[in-house]
Amino acid sequence: MPLVTSIRTSTRNRGSRRTEILEAAAVLFAARGFHGVSIEDIGSAVGISGPALYRHFSGKDALLAEMLLDVSERLRSAGAQVVTGTGTPDEMLDTLIQGQIAFALSHPALITVHDRELGNVAEPQRRAIRRLQRLYAEEWVTVLSELHPACPAADLRAATHAVFGLLNSTPHSAGEVPHETMAPLLHRMARAAFAAIVSGR
């Protein structure tokens, strides 16, 4: 019995509820972990209550899976666009870094959930998410390998994950520094970290 009858006039607001739920769930999952959040919690965060979620998702697991799949896909496709496009490897790396920073700063909860909760996704979709994550990381590694041809790919992979850790730290140290300061700071640190890969003492 929705007391507030739909304010939205027409077109039925396609999918807005789904994304609204996904966003609220991301914040809750980031704060308390997947198993620490109940269906009722998520529902009441968007003003509906409990089992109404099943009108939009087939279950809690499916909700998490879709969230992670969506994030992984967005990152990977943004990355692919960079690598496909024109530019020197150096410029590509800058663009990749900038994209990751922009995403981490604007969707901190999603980033947090993204690298914490994969273990709670069941096997059919787990593999798909892992694959997208791997593809995304491989794009970074490909660019890096042009800048450091002598460096073993395994090291480049490790360095990439380390820089992901650096860039994704924003959700944890959030609020203290404005984005306009944070973004260039992180960018410089990431560039410098990559430049230090070379094993020259």
Q: Looking only at residues 138 through 157 of this chain, which bind its own copies when binding is defined by CB under 8 A?
A: 154-155, 157
The torsion angle over the Cα atoms of residues 170, 173, 177 and 179, rounded to 10 degrees, is 20
Are 121 and 135 in contact by the 8 Å Cβ rule? The answer is no
**6 Cβ contact partners less than 8 Å away, ≥ 6 residues apart:** none
Does residue 48 belong to the site contacting DNA (CB under 7 A)? yes
Among 19, 33, 51, 81, binds DNA (CB under 7 A): 51
By residue count, the chain amounts to: 201
Which of the ranges 2-10, 28-36, 51-59, 141-149 carries the binding residues for its own copies, by CB under 8 A? 28-36
Are 92 and 142 in contact by the 8 Å Cβ rule? The answer is no
Are 168 and 148 in contact by the 8 Å Cβ rule? The answer is no
Q: Which positions lie near its own copies, rule CB under 8 A?
A: 31-36, 115-117, 119-120, 154-155, 157-159, 161-170, 172-173, 176-177, 181-182, 184-186, 188-197, 199
Q: Which positions lie near DNA, rule CB under 7 A?
A: 1-2, 5-6, 9-10, 12, 17, 35, 37-40, 43, 48-52, 54-56, 59-61
